[in-house]
């Protein structure tokens, strides 16, 4: 499994493309973005975000696509899926957990929540070099 997982891509106001990725860093998940946002979250924090926004994965949907294995039996997976109500396929993040069914949520929404947490933590705990 790759050690880096693309979470989301978006187009910025100036037309540039920005990508947000996650990396496994020991027992933490490192979130970084092309706009310079960087920080680490606990696996528990990612679990809470996915529990808040995710819904049980529909039966019969294959768990394929790139995945980021994490300690404790957790796995974050990017899945392209074309639901019957969508005009075209969308990217989802699937949270596989050892004690429950997989949860899926639209990648853009989850990535925004994870980026917010990283930014919030950075604002609350600036690095010593910034003080």
Domain range summary for the chain, segments of one domain joined by +: 4-130
Task: Express as a percent the part of the chain with pLDDT over 70.
Answer: 87
What is the spatial distance between Cα 87 and Cα 41, in angstroms, rounded to a whole number? Answer: 34
Higher per-residue confidence, 125 vs 91: 91
Scanning the chain, the segments in alpha helix (DSSP H) are 43-53, 107-124
What are 29-83's pLDDT values in tens digits? 999 998 888 999 999 999 999 999 999 988 878 788 889 999 999 999 999 765 6
Rounding to the nearest 10 degrees, give the CA dihedral for residues 79, 80, 82, 85. Answer: 70
Higher per-residue confidence, 84 vs 49: 49
**pLDDT for res 85:** 61
Exposure b/e, 55-67, CB count within 10 A at least 16 = b: eebeeeeeeeeeb
pLDDT value at 3 more than 70: yes
Count CB neighbours of 10 within 10 A.
15
């Amino acid at each position: 499994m790759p050690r880096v997982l693309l979470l989301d891509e978006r187009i910025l106001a100036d037309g540039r493309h920005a990508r947000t990725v996650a990396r496994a860093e020991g027992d933490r998940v490192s979130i970084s973005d092309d706009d310079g946002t960087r920080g680490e979250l606990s696996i528990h924090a990612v679990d809470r975000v996915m529990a808040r926004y995710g819904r049980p994965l529909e039966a019969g949907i294959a768990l394929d696509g790139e995945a980021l294995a994490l300690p404790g039996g957790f796995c974050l997976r990017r899945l392209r899926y074309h639901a019957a109500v969508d005009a075209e396929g969308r990217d989802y993040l699937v949270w596989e957990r050892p004690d429950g069914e997989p949860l899926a949520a639209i990648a853009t929404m989850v990535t925004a929540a994870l980026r917010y947490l990283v930014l919030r933590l950075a604002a609350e705990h600036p690095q010593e070099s910034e003080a």
